[in-house]
Structure 1
Amino acid sequence: MRLLLVEDEAEMAAWLMRAFKQTGYVCDHAPDAASAESLLAVGEYDAVVLDLRLPDKHGLSILAEMRNAGNRTPVLVLTAQGSLQDRIKGLNTGADDFLTKPFAVEELEARLEALVRRSRGSAAQPALQCGSLVRAHGSKAFTLDGELLSLTPRESAALSVLLTRAGTPVEKAQLSHKVFPTASNAGPDAIELVLHRLRRKLAGADVRIVTVRGLGYMLESVKHGHGDA
């Protein structure tokens, strides 16, 4: 997913950029309206995360200009102004969703995923697949060789990340971030147990989870070998 983050608070922007990178998003940052307008003029984004209080222009002015120019990119507004009146004004201007500060980055990412999913249309999104392992778009259920795979929520979360990036190593820290909540007391090796259980459930199938030394973990098709999953 390619995002544009329009946020003038340096600390907030740095935190969000780190979080988006860990999730695997590609994100450009605009600290003011002028930068945002320049980036929007030359780039295409799956979604825009827009702060309202910018140093050179109000965020809703950027939004209004986008919509007037026919730009339908989903826009999620970040704001400390959580009043009903502000929300109504934003929605009437063309905002797709609101999130009031402070917020959890997990909720922000979930809302962005939902916005992009709706904008693309579920029918246009193919199923994720590696070998005989399949997860239908919009579903949390996996099938292996046509049979439903019984997974715990954490196993499902880990397999989702690996399947999305099949054939590419996923860093241990990135995988742990998606499987365990930020506030979890899980130790640094807790992800190893989740992967051990997943490997047992995939045993004998045409897909496997391999450890790529120094790079992380990768889901691959046994038939095709490394890099062809």
Structure 2
Amino acid sequence: MKILIVEDNAFLAERISNWLERSDYAVDIARNAEEADFFVGTSLYEGIVLDIGLPDKDGLSLMREWRKTGRDDAILILTARSNWSERVQGLNAGADDYLPKPFEFEELQARLNAIIRRKEGRSTNEIGVGGYQLNNDCRTLSTPTGEDHRLTATEFRLLQCFLRSPGRVFSQDDLVDLLYNIDRSPGNNVIQVYITRLRRLLGKSKIKTLRGQGYYFDPDEP
């Protein structure tokens, strides 16, 4: 799962990032609205943590612009403002939830997970497709034959991509973008290596290759 943090307080942004990365999120950090616009234009995110008090533009105005373009990212706004009407304005502007500062990192992660689940139409931290169950809390995969497998962080995030969007074709660039921070550049064959690992768990026919296009998960393939 990939998250964008838009926060001009560098210390707080790094602390949020470190907390989420320990839970196997891939995280990018934008320090202002201009950087945030660049990131959302060049990468894919499941969720955005957005401080509304940015130095170059009000966070609510930025969010309104994103919503007008059709972006439907799960957005959690952070605010140091205590006025209830400003929090209502944030929700009306398109936020999925808000969290006042100061906050506990556990609550931030729980709220972020909840709004992402709502966007995906899920009620639990499990993703179930084709008899496979991916547990987001334990980072385990249960197969239709009753086997349980503990996954590495990268295996888990890659399988998340496939099970959340069965049938969708992901190019190698798509998968690199979803799995890694924007400033990281993994080797050329990293994705192929992890695809091979997942095929050992799922069966070779479950993750298919479209030559020249990418990979997709086929839930109907036996």
- Note whether the superposition's TM-score is higher than 0.5: yes
Partners in 2 of 1:84 and 1:20 — Cα distance? 28
Q: Aligned residue for 1:176? A: none
Unaligned runs of 5+ in 1: 139-156, 171-224
Counterpart contact for 1:3–1:25, Cα < 8 Å: yes
Deviations 1:63-113 (A, max 9, x none): 010111111111100111132111111111111100011111111111111
Q: Aligned residue for 1:75? A: 75
Counterpart contact for 2:60–2:90, Cα < 8 Å: yes
* Alignment CA distance shift 1:79-1:169 (3 Å): closer
TM-score by length of 1: 0.58
Q: Aligned residue for 2:186? A: none
The yes-or-no answer on 1:166 pairing with 2:144 is: no
Q: 1:181-196, aligned counterparts within 5 Å?
A: none
The yes-or-no answer on 1:59 pairing with 2:59 is: yes
Partners in 2 of 1:136 and 1:44 — Cα distance? 21
Measured after TM superposition, the shift of residue 168 of structure 1 is 2.1
Report 1 or 2 for greater relative contact order, CA contacts < 8 Å, sequence distance ≥ 6: 2
* Alignment CA distance shift 1:81-1:97 (3 Å): same
Q: 1:124-203, aligned counterparts within 5 Å?
A: 126-127=127-128, 160-163=138-141, 166-168=150-152
Counterpart contact for 2:134–2:141, Cα < 8 Å: no
Partners in 1 of 2:84 and 2:151 — Cα distance? 46
Unaligned runs of 5+ in 2: 143-148, 155-196, 202-222
TM-score by length of 2: 0.60
Amino acid at match of 1:2: K
Q: 1:1-229, aligned counterparts within 5 Å?
A: 1-122=1-122, 126-127=127-128, 160-163=138-141, 166-168=150-152, 228-229=200-201
* Alignment CA distance shift 1:77-1:17 (3 Å): same
Amino acid at match of 1:127: G
Counterpart secondary structure, 1:14: helix
Partners in 2 of 1:169 and 1:76 — Cα distance? 24
Indicate the structure (1 or 2) with the bigger Cα radius of gyration: 1
Partners in 1 of 2:102 and 2:62 — Cα distance? 22
- Please report the RMSD computed on the Cα atoms of aligned residues, expressed in angstroms: 3.0
